[in-house]
Structure 1
C-alpha cells in the first residue's frame, strides 16, 4: 500500500490539535486514522493524541493477523473507536483541565477489495477514482443536520457561522454512536482521510483535481493539498492522509 501523511498547524492556530497515524497488520492490511481535537488549554491536542494512541494500541493486539473479513474489520474498528471514547472521557472526568475535551475520528482498514471506514465527527473520508470523487462519510455536525432537514442549502452550510459545531464527538460522553461501513475498493482508487482544515478551505473540485493528477506522486499530492488550504486562509490545522494500492512495477511509498 502506498501512503502519504502530512499535517500542518495552519496560519492561525497556536497548537496543532490534529493527529494522524498509518500502520499495518500482517498480510499487508493497512490501517489509517485522522483525529481533530477540541478543547481549551491544549486539551484538544491531548484528546486527539489519546485517540490515536488508544486506537493504535487496540490494533497492535492483532498485528499478526494475515487476513480479516469485512465483518471482523467492522467489529475491530468499532471496538477501537469505542475504547478511545472511553479512555478520553475517563481522562476528562478525572482532570478539570481536560473537562469537555473531545476529538473527531475517521479511520480506515484496507482489506483486499474492501475498505472498512469508521467515523465520529466531521473529519472525512473520500474515494477518488474512475467515477470521480465521492464523500464516504456524513458529517456529525449541526449544519449537516440543518441541510438534511431542508433548513439550509449545501452552499449556505459552507459559510454558516456554526459550521464547526459537532453533534457527535469522541470523549465528550460515556458512550458514542459510531458510523461504520464497508465499500468496494479498486486498484485505481485513492482514499483520502482529512480534517476539516482541508475541506473548509479547499473545494471538492480542487481536491479531486489534485488527487487525480497522474503526474504527481502521492506525497506531492498531499503537500499540494496542504498548500492549497494555506493559500485559502489556513484558518485551522490541516491534516491529509492518502492511500493507494501499489501497482506492479511501482516503487514502494512510505508514510511522510
Structure 2
C-alpha cells in the first residue's frame, strides 16, 4: 500500500487526511477525507472523521461476512458524521465544517467501498480503469439529468459544490458498494485534488507503468496534479492485491 498527501500549490493548510492499515494478514482498510469549512475547520473535520473511522474499525477480523463488513463501514462513517456534526454544533469556530469521505475494506477476494462527497475510488484491472464512486456534486446531478455535458461539468464554475457531505447535517446517507478483488488488482482512492486536476487517461498511463512500484506510482500521480496547477490539497492511497495473497506493503 502507498499513501501520499500534499498541500498543493495554492492552499495554506492541508485539509485532507488519509489512513491505511493492514488490520490482519489479508484484511486491509483505507480512508481519504477532504475537509472544508475555512479557518482550519476543514482540517479538524477530516481529522475527526478519519480518527473516528479508525477507532470503529480497530479489532475488525476477516471472520465477518461481506454483509457484516458493509454494515461496519456504513456504521463507522455514520459515527464519524455524528462526531463531526456534534463538534461543529458546539463550537462557533467550526460552524458549517464538513468533509468528504471515501473508504475501503478489502479481503483476499472482495471489498466494500463507502463514500460521501466527491472523493473517489477507482479500480484498475487488466489494463482498465473503473470509477467505483459517484460524485455527490451539483454538477454531477446536472450531468445525470442531461442539463450539461461531462465536458461542461469539468469547467463549471460551481463544480466544487457538494450535494452531500459528512458532518454538515445530523443525518446523512452513505453510498456503499461491494467489489470483487482479484490478484493484481489496484485500488486508488483519492481526494478531488487529484481527480479534478488530471484526466483518467493520465491515471491510466501512470498505473500501467510496470517498472514503477506502488510508492513511485503514488508519487507520480501527486506530481502530475501539482504540474497541472496543484489548485487543491492532493491525497492518494494505492492498494495492490499482490500475487502471494498477502497485500503488498
Q: TM-score, normalised by structure 2?
A: 0.97
Question: Cα offset for 1:26?
Answer: 2.9
Match of 2:216 in 1: 220
Counterpart-to-counterpart distance in 2, 1:124 and 1:186? 20
Moved over 6 A (4+): none
Match of 1:89 in 2: 85
Residue-by-residue CA offset, 1:169-219 (whole Å, 9 max, x unaligned): 000000100000101111121000000000111100000110121110000
Match of 2:115 in 1: 119
**RMSD, aligned CA:** 1.4
Asked whether the equivalents of residues 123 and 139 of structure 1 are also in contact (C-alpha less than 8 Å), the reply is yes
- Aligned residue for 2:104, secondary structure, equals strand
Match of 1:98 in 2: 94
Listed as ranges, the matches of 1:58-69 within 5 Å are: 58-60=56-58, 62-63=59-60, 65-69=61-65
- Aligned residue for 1:25, secondary structure, equals strand
Counterpart-to-counterpart distance in 2, 1:44 and 1:4? 24
Match of 1:167 in 2: 163
Asked whether the equivalents of residues 26 and 245 of structure 2 are also in contact (C-alpha less than 8 Å), the reply is no
Residue-by-residue CA offset, 1:105-127 (whole Å, 9 max, x unaligned): 00000022111000000000000
Match of 1:202 in 2: 198
Question: Cα offset for 1:74?
Answer: 0.3
Instruction: Name structure 1 gaps, 5 residues minimum.
Output: none
Asked whether the equivalents of residues 8 and 239 of structure 1 are also in contact (C-alpha less than 8 Å), the reply is yes
Question: Cα offset for 1:245?
Answer: 1.4
* Structure 2 residue 42 is matched with structure 1 residue 44: yes
Question: Cα offset for 1:253?
Answer: 4.5
Instruction: Name structure 2 gaps, 5 residues minimum.
Output: none
